[in-house]
């Protein structure tokens, strides 16, 4: 089970890293004749087995969004050309739309693999930030004890009790609503880290507080190690296993948080491909019925969360859903 | 027990005050205010008048003082966006969210607990249940609600959005109720499935742990039937972690219901909060935060009481 989960996550990560090579089209290229176009069928049979090819596709009616394949004109897929794995240039009868096109005629598959970069990078960085802040605050609380511990623990519990989605929403909405993509990235990173640290801090505090009573800490003190050295070199390393488990909880939660915020229009602006901005199109029910391929980013999110959960379950732990 | 309850109530009270006050201050400090709703061509006098009406021309501290002294008398100010008292708006939205959350919690409990008992005791189909659970766990409310709305729209088995049809009240209360009941399954199920899966996994794990306890072996040695061992003995012990999670589940329900309300157009607190935040409708934001805080506090209180009911140790020591 762990292996299956690792495979799923590995595929997604490879997709994100190799996005420019895997994407058949530029993510922001809009094809005028392909608004809401369904996925291009890739054929292998045409009077005998052939190398994969597509038929030229013609837009029959803009109003009905009806497309027809011109079976008299098969077009070979072009492998390893122009720095892409596979593509069909527009001049040769393309585009190749593996998962169809969105409201602007942009290739959903290409946007999906490019979107994986933003969505995953944000989630991974936010997870790291939450782990660092949480370990630091939890470590200080557990090591210092007394009044510092009381204060930090109360703070931790307070943030923990708040429904994360609403706090993220309120913090994001309190900032200017229109921001550049880089500013949104930084802002979401800070917000996610602010919401994620208490979960980490609570466990780290408990571990450090119990480790502090062990002999090796007394020995360290006797040898003249200061509190920061004890914490950084001896106590916090004992929490690494715990931190790894927390990372598996935080990562999917952050992927989802980005998707949710972008979905409601408080995340990245539309031209930036992320899984959340792509899902915005799926909010329109009447469109969704006719163009279900708009749900592709939802499937991508599902694969990531499932991959993480499979890894966790394979290790014999019950995966618990964190909000949102 | 009474001291314990009093402490929890005090905490609940503090939570509501802190959450709503910080929401008020956050909205106040955010760039732009509600006068942006007047449009770019509003005369300066009208803008100034609106700012005065909403206390926006006073200092943040003074505004907070005036607001909190009114809020203490349950007067939460007026909403600019709807031009109605916040209290009226909150009442309707809170009831709608409560209906949705209660239905989801009910479904999640009815599905998750029995299935968890079954799979945790190695009953029939344990592997299948675990697999389905993992899939549901990986599909959070954002995904389930989109999927269910899509399914409802294509199959037309259920209405795909909203809480009532347009003509719902024409036929009187009974038709209104059946209409709401027809609209409820899609959002409630979307919200319930991931939580049901969480319950199932936790129940299965704690059931498996409970079955390894010495007194279970003793009961089996006395010849108690396996069925009775699971239902009468192991289940009671295994309930403790489940009751603990109910308090947290309320937070998850509240967070999840935001997305579900957004996707399925359910007119609840989440939708209202979102609109208020975007329009910088300051008193509506604060009111929504107060209502959300009250929900949370009530949830954790119920969770504590459940915990006390399931575990005598909590009752005697007075703290979980």
Are residue B158 and residue B295 in the same domain, yes or no? yes
Query: Does residue B171 register a pLDDT over 80?
Result: no
Are residue B60 and residue B125 in the same domain, yes or no? no
Q: Is residue B69 part of a domain?
A: yes
Q: What are the tokens at A169?
A: 């929403």
Are residue B129 and residue B233 in the same domain, yes or no? yes
Q: A114 falls in which pLDDT band (50, 70, 90)?
A: very high
Would the ipTM clear 0.85, i.e. be above it?
no
Are residue B72 and residue B209 in the same domain, yes or no? no
Q: A323 falls in which pLDDT band (50, 70, 90)?
A: very low
Q: Read off the pLDDT of residues B29-45 as tens digits, 9 standing for 90 and up.
A: 888 777 777 878 888 88
Put simply, the answer to whether B137 touches A165 (Cβ < 8 Å) is no
Query: Does residue B168 register a pLDDT over 70?
Result: no
* Angle between helix B282-310 and B269-279 (nearest 10): 150
Q: Is residue B286 part of a domain?
A: no
3-state secondary structure of A67: strand
Check residues B109 and B52 and name the one with the higher pLDDT: B109
pLDDT of residue B320: 41
Q: Is residue B240 part of a domain?
A: yes
Mean pLDDT of all residues belonging to chain B: 83
Q: A322 falls in which pLDDT band (50, 70, 90)?
A: very low
DSSP bridge pairs for A59: A67
Contacts of A283 in chain B (CB under 8 A): 263
Put simply, the answer to whether A165 touches B258 (Cβ < 8 Å) is yes
Q: Read off the pLDDT of residues B237-268 as tens digits, 9 standing for 90 and up.
A: 787 777 777 777 777 788 888 889 988 888 88
Are residue B129 and residue B198 in the same domain, yes or no? yes
What are the C-alpha distances in Å from B247 to residues B2, B238, B243, B300?
19, 17, 7, 4
Nearest CA in chain B to A297: B143
Put simply, the answer to whether B296 touches A161 (Cβ < 8 Å) is yes
B interface test, pick of A160, A165, A255, A300 with most B CB neighbours within 10 Å: A165
State residue B192 phi and psi, 5-degree precision. -80, -35
What are the C-alpha distances in Å from A87 to residues A20, A278, B131, B144?
12, 22, 37, 33
Residues A204/A242, Cβ–Cβ less than 8 Å: yes
DSSP bridge pairs for A67: A59
Q: B313 falls in which pLDDT band (50, 70, 90)?
A: low
Domains observed in chain A: 30-103 (no CATH), 108-314 (1.10.3720.10)
How far apart CA B198 and CA B116 sit, in angstroms, is 10
Q: Is residue B319 part of a domain?
A: no
Residue B24's Cα: distance from chain center in Å?
21
Tell me which residue range forms the domain holding B60.
2-85
Are residue B59 and residue B186 in the same domain, yes or no? no
How far apart CA A247 and CA A243 sit, in angstroms, is 6
DSSP bridge pairs for A86: A79
Are residue B15 and residue B123 in the same domain, yes or no? no
The total of structural domains in chain B comes to 2
How far apart CA A101 and CA B15 sit, in angstroms, is 47
Q: How far is the alpha carbon of B222 from chain A, nearest alpha carbon, in Å?
A: 31
pLDDT of residue A324: 38
Question: First vs last Cα of chain A: how many Å apart?
Answer: 25
Are residue B158 and residue B135 in the same domain, yes or no? yes
Q: Is residue B251 part of a domain?
A: yes
CB neighbour class for A233 (10 Å; exposed up to 12, middle 13-18, buried from 19):
exposed
Are residue B143 and residue B166 in the same domain, yes or no? yes
Q: Read off the pLDDT of residues A185-234 as tens digits, 9 standing for 90 and up.
A: 999 999 999 999 998 998 898 888 888 888 888 888 888 888 888 888 88
Q: Is residue B318 part of a domain?
A: no
Last residue of a domain, one of B85, B118, B134: B85
Count the neighbouring beta carbons within 10 Å of the beta carbon of residue B311.
18
Are residue B147 and residue B296 in the same domain, yes or no? yes
Q: A320 falls in which pLDDT band (50, 70, 90)?
A: low
Put simply, the answer to whether B141 touches A324 (Cβ < 8 Å) is yes
pLDDT of residue B166: 65
pLDDT of residue A67: 83
For chain A, say whether B140 makes contact (Cβ under 8 Å).
Answer: yes
pLDDT of residue A272: 87
How far apart CA A299 and CA B139 sit, in angstroms, is 9
Q: Is residue B180 part of a domain?
A: yes
Q: Where are the beta strands (DSSP E) in B5-106?
A: 78-79, 84-85
Are residue B149 and residue B81 in the same domain, yes or no? no
Q: What is the mean pLDDT of residues B75-102?
A: 88
Are residue B73 and residue B104 in the same domain, yes or no? no
Residues B81/B38, Cβ–Cβ less than 8 Å: no
B interface test, pick of A163, A171, A198, A265 with most B CB neighbours within 10 Å: A163
Instruction: Provide the CATH number for the domain around residue B236.
Output: 1.10.3720.10
Q: What is the mean pLDDT of residues A172-195?
A: 89
Last residue of a domain, one of B85, B110, B134: B85
Query: Does residue B104 register a pLDDT over 90?
Result: yes
For chain A, say whether B176 makes contact (Cβ under 8 Å).
Answer: no
Last residue of a domain, one of B56, B85, B114: B85
Q: Is residue B242 part of a domain?
A: yes
Q: Which of residues 33-72 of B touch A (CB under 8 A)?
A: none
């Amino acid at each position: 089970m762990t292996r299956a989960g690792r495979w799923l996550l590995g595929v997604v990560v490879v997709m994100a890293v190799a996005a420019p090579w895997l994407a058949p089209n530029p993510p922001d290229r809009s094809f005028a004749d392909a608004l809401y176009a369904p996925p291009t069928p890739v054929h292998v049979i045409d009077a005998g087995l052939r190398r994969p090819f597509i038929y030229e596709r013609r837009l029959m009616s803009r109003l009905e969004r009806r497309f027809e394949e011109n079976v008299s004109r098969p077009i070979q897929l072009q492998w390893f050309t122009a720095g892409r794995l596979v593509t069909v240039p527009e001049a040769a009868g393309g585009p190749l739309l593996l998962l169809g096109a969105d409201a602007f005629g942009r290739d959903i598959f290409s946007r999906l693999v490019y979107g994986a970069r933003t969505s995953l990078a944000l989630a991974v960085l936010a997870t790291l930030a939450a782990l660092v802040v949480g370990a630091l605050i939890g470590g200080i609380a557990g090591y210092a004890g007394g009044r510092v511990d009381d204060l930090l623990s109360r703070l931790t519990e307070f943030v923990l009790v708040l429904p994360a989605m609403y706090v993220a929403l309120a913090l994001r909405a309190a900032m200017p609503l229109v921001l550049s993509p880089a500013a949104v990235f930084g802002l979401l990173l800070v917000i996610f880290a602010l919401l994620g640290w208490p979960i980490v801090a609570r466990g780290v505090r408990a571990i450090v507080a119990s480790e502090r009573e062990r002999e090796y800490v007394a020995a360290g003190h006797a040898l003249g190690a200061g509190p920061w050295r004890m914490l950084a070199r001896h106590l916090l390393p004992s929490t690494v296993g715990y931190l790894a488990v927390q990372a598996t909880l935080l990562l999917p939660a952050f992927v989802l948080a980005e998707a949710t915020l972008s979905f409601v229009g408080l995340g990245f602006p539309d031209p930036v491909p992320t899984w959340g901005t792509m899902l915005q199109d799926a909010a329109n029910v009447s469109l969704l019925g006719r163009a279900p391929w708009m749900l592709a980013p939802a499937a991508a999110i599902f694969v990531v969360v499932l991959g993480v959960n499979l890894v966790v379950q394979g290790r014999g732990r019950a995966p618990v859903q964190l909000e949102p | 027990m009474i001291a314990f309850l009093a402490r929890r109530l005090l905490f609940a009270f503090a939570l509501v005050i802190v959450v709503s006050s910080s929401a008020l201050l956050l909205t106040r400090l955010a760039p732009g205010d509600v006068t942006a709703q007047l449009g770019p061509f509003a005369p300066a006098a009208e803008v100034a008048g609106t700012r005065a009406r909403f206390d926006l021309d006073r200092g943040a501290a003074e505004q907070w003082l005036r607001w909190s002294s009114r809020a203490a008398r349950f007067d939460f100010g007026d909403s600019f966006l709807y031009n109605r008292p916040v209290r009226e708006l909150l009442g309707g939205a809170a009831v709608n969210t409560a209906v949705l959350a209660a239905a989801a919690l009910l479904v999640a409990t009815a599905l998750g607990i029995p299935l968890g008992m079954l799979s945790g005791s190695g009953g029939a189909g344990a592997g299948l249940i675990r697999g389905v659970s993992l899939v549901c766990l990986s599909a959070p409310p954002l995904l389930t609600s989109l999927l269910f709305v899509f399914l409802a729209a294509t199959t037309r088995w259920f209405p795909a959005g909203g809480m009532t049809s347009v003509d719902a009240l024409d036929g009187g209360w009974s038709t209104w109720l059946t209409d709401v009941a027809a609209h409820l399954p899609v959002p409630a199920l979307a919200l319930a499935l991931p939580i049901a899966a969480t319950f199932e996994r936790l129940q299965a794990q704690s059931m498996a742990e409970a079955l390894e306890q010495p007194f279970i072996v003793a009961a089996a040695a006395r010849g108690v039937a396996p069925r009775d061992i699971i239902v009468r003995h192991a289940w009671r012990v295994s309930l403790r972690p489940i009751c603990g999670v109910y308090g947290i589940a309320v937070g998850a329900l509240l967070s999840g219901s935001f997305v579900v309300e957004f996707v399925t157009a359910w007119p609840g607190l989440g939708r209202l909060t979102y609109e208020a935040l975007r329009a910088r409708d300051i008193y509506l934001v604060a009111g929504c935060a107060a209502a959300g805080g009250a929900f949370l506090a009530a949830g954790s209180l119920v969770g504590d009481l459940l915990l006390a009911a399931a575990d005598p140790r909590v009752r005697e020591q007075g703290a979980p």
